[in-house]
Structure 1
């Protein structure tokens, strides 16, 4: 940091990082509340605006107090600056496109950014210039107001019928679709009817009913495990013997294939089994890696495999955390999960540091944490191919019809097979027996003369 934070002042970098995470906890709660009460767009623009200002201001901080304050303010935007847009995306697309739209943007952006940034830093050899180059990109996130629209689901949940209809009309016009006026009228009546029975909600309502309470707790635990293990994997690269530039770039390049696999898996295997499978495979890769650290090429390959599968799990967990919570509390519910995840992330540096006790210990901890998260994910409700719940009442009844071993691709295959069998039974033509004369007429051949006795 070029501030001589060494010897007696060596505690200062860790303290500023702690203040960053502390800001993250406060900011996540604040922007989660804001997303539910002031709108998704308000939270999105506010978080990214603050991130842009603090990011550009950081290199100008010349003392400990100023740097700590800026880190705290930047921490307020941690996760929110992109998670709100992810939320907005999921609420504005159809069921069959949620997984693709939600993950393809992350796949491209995280891959490109993660691959070029280490080499840009190595080329510039100046963290201040690099910092400015990194955060000036936030300008692209502050999209012109007319380019994206507020969530129709959120507007409807707030009873803002006219605004929600205007958004729907703008979307229909952009897609060159014609919507009959009576459909808008039906939508308006439905929103007014549902809004008349609603009261103001807070995140505490997530724990008011038994099934939603259970799902919320399981979602938080699973997200804590996935988030902390993902952060641990990134930091644990330092325990590999290869160049940090190469290992970081390669691990970042795995984002694209991992995200593309996630898109397929979320629809085919479902959210629960995707999370279970990816975290289990990540754990197995870490176990193999931990016991083969003396074989550097082998250890590096399995470490990258572990990173691939934990990225797979991260994308799955992010989507689950949004889909389980009802629309009226989705911002606060996701914020609550992220607060607990940030708390778990406090321990990820200590996971890496545990190599001082035993060089394989970080890999074993990452394996155990992944296995624990894999088990809890199995008991979550399946959200694939179903409408997102809008109210607490809908969330309480959510996914009651699915069995524990429900897998979307298997269910679809069985349904298709049963439909074919049903069609075959419906179109089964009864057997008709013809006499010899009728048969000859149908075949245009003369019938055989009957033999008669003399």
Structure 2
């Protein structure tokens, strides 16, 4: 039955292609012809499935590495050390340490004023309070304990800032390299750098060493996910991009969830790092296993290599690509010089600056990404401070992304990118601001918190898809990297957001919500890209709003 259905589907595709004149195909350009080839190969044929199976692994690892900071530098329970009484039983603690909100103060203590060396209620002067000099930590393992960071929250949050700061270096550089050398090489090398510096960091002997390798890890390896994502988007036809995006996001989410459970089981940050980072070396094997992106090869004029890969896909999927379509693909790729730009960061950026349309599109993309990153990572980081088990809370906050991505797949397919962006940013903003009106220890607070994470996750996934569709192939990775790098500026600030709670518990979520509401309004200006062929040149990208949607077979 499957074979018969497959043959009928193939004949329909061939009939559709056969009705097109060679002149029409030439006019469509190499990118449009390539989308027709993917359409013949099927929505998710064997070739695409095999490639996605490989791409899911680095995306899974990226989910793990993006969550490591939350457990590596997790705040743990500790109190002031009282040298005068530590050898006694613990009943004296109530007299030695002041309370705030029915909890012992972590950073201050009463002055000890008893010359008889006893520890009772009369041994401490409650009118004299001073800062602690030493701390007694709980059994939980964290860099806070290893490097004695008690009551130095700025140092603890700086670890996350150092990690996210690495993205500011990695993404623009890798974007340029990826557009110049392809998708596979940068992805493999970046993953190896993750493994090298992440493993070395587990042997840190000082806070300073930890900070340095935290930065180096992301500065050299953080582009793994974005490169895999762009590669994945270029392997499917337009109506398959949303599903492809959903699959890659699922891998990322499972990485976050599995790390949370692993951290709960181990409660040892050094061992955790030594377990999760070495597997990234396996991605180096992709240099010998994966074929390069045909779309990228065509954008560089390397027609023979691209056609060879498409022939391989044709054989794996057991279909036949019409020869005149391959000839047309080769001709348009060879002679359409306007679609083959020099891949230099300065050249690409200059072209964008000269185009008002592209510049505004880039600025909009950057702001949407900043808002998503700041809110998305901010909600994840602050989840460990919610009432209850911090590991389970983080798992729930990560898990909510699974139904969010399923929902995203459904609504993007039905309603399009623009409507979803506007609606989800608006809902995310409303939920985040609404948290300020609810008691933090109530069940409703957790529900609204998860709803906010749900909405911003849908928006984040949609931004990824939309950004990959509004920029040209020969500069897509570079421009996507600029957007993503801007977003990392928001992610860099996210680890500092818990410090805002010192002034007001609801201040972080109020800021998250305000930024999201503004993003909702700005999203009204984004062009519609539903079922539109990926543009292969700046010229095509500028006209994307007028590009005719690809007919469904």
Spell out the pairing of 1:53-452 with structure 2 (5 A cutoff).
53-77=196-220, 79-107=222-250, 109-139=251-281, 141-145=283-287, 147-195=289-337, 198-200=340-342, 201-294=347-440, 296-400=442-546
User: Hey, what's the Cα distance between the residues in 2 that align with 1:31 and 1:149?
Assistant: 19
- The CA distance in 2 between the partners of 1:232 and 1:96, in whole Å, is 32
Q: CA deviation at 1:188?
A: 1.3
Structure 2 residue aligned with 1:405 = none
Tell me the residue number matched to 2:19.
Answer: none
Does 151-160 or 284-293 show the bigger shift? 284-293
Question: Cα distance, 1:198 vs. partner?
Answer: 4.5
Distance in 1 (alpha carbons) for counterparts of 2:196 and 2:547:
48
Q: Which residue of 1 aligns with 2:52?
A: none
Offset of 1:207 from its aligned partner? 2.3
Select between 77-86 and 362-371 the one with higher mean Cα deviation.
Answer: 77-86
Measure how far apart 1:58 and its partner are. 1.5
**Bigger proportion of residues as strand:** 2
Q: Please tell me whether the aligned partners of residues 191 and 221 of structure 2 are also in contact (alpha carbons under 8 angstroms).
A: no
Match of 1:36 in 2: 179
The runs of 5 or more residues in structure 2 that have no matched partner are: 1-142
Judged with a 3 Å threshold, the aligned counterparts in structure 2 of structure 1 residues 120 and 258 are, in CA distance, closer, same or farther, namely: same
Q: Structure 1 residues 373 and 77 mapped into 2: Cα distance closer, same or farther (>3 Å)?
A: farther
User: Normalising by structure 2, what TM-score?
Assistant: 0.68
Shift of 1:77: 4.0
Q: Distance in 2 between matches of 1:183 and 1:373?
A: 42
The aligned length equals 404
Greater gyration radius? 1
- 2:191 matched to which residue of 1? 48
Q: Distance in 1 between matches of 2:411 and 2:150?
A: 50
Per-residue Cα deviation, 1:23-66 (whole angstroms, up to 9, x for no partner)? 22111111011011111111111111111111222212323454
- The answer to whether the Cα contact below 8 Å between 1:110 and 1:252 also exists between their aligned partners in 2 is no
**d(CA) in 1 for partners of 2:268, 2:238:** 46
Cα distance in 1 for residues equivalent to 2:148 and 2:293? 46
Structure-2 change in CA distance of 1:12 and 1:237 (3 Å): closer
Alpha-carbon contact 2:184-2:286 (below 8 Å) kept: no
Alignment deviations for residues 387-429 of structure 1 (CA, whole Å, 9 cap, x no partner): 1111000011111379xxxxx9xxx9xx9xxxxxxxxxxxxxx
| Cα 1:393/1:83, change in 2 over 3 Å | same
Q: Secondary structure at the match of 1:382?
A: coil
Return the offset for 1:320: 1.5
Q: 1:22 aligns with which of 165, 169, 174?
A: 165
Residues 110 and 198 (structure 1 numbering): CA distance in 2 closer, same or farther, change over 3 Å? closer
Decide whether the 8 Å contact of 2:431 with 2:448 is kept in 1. Answer: yes
Q: Which moves more between the two structures, 329-338 or 140-149?
A: 140-149
Residue 86 of structure 2: aligned partner: none
Is the 1:223–1:337 Cα contact (8 Å) retained in structure 2? yes
1:355–1:361 CA contact under 8 A, matched in 2:
yes
Task: Kindly state the Cα deviation for residue 11 of structure 1 after the two structures are TM-superposed.
Answer: 6.0
RMSD: 2.5
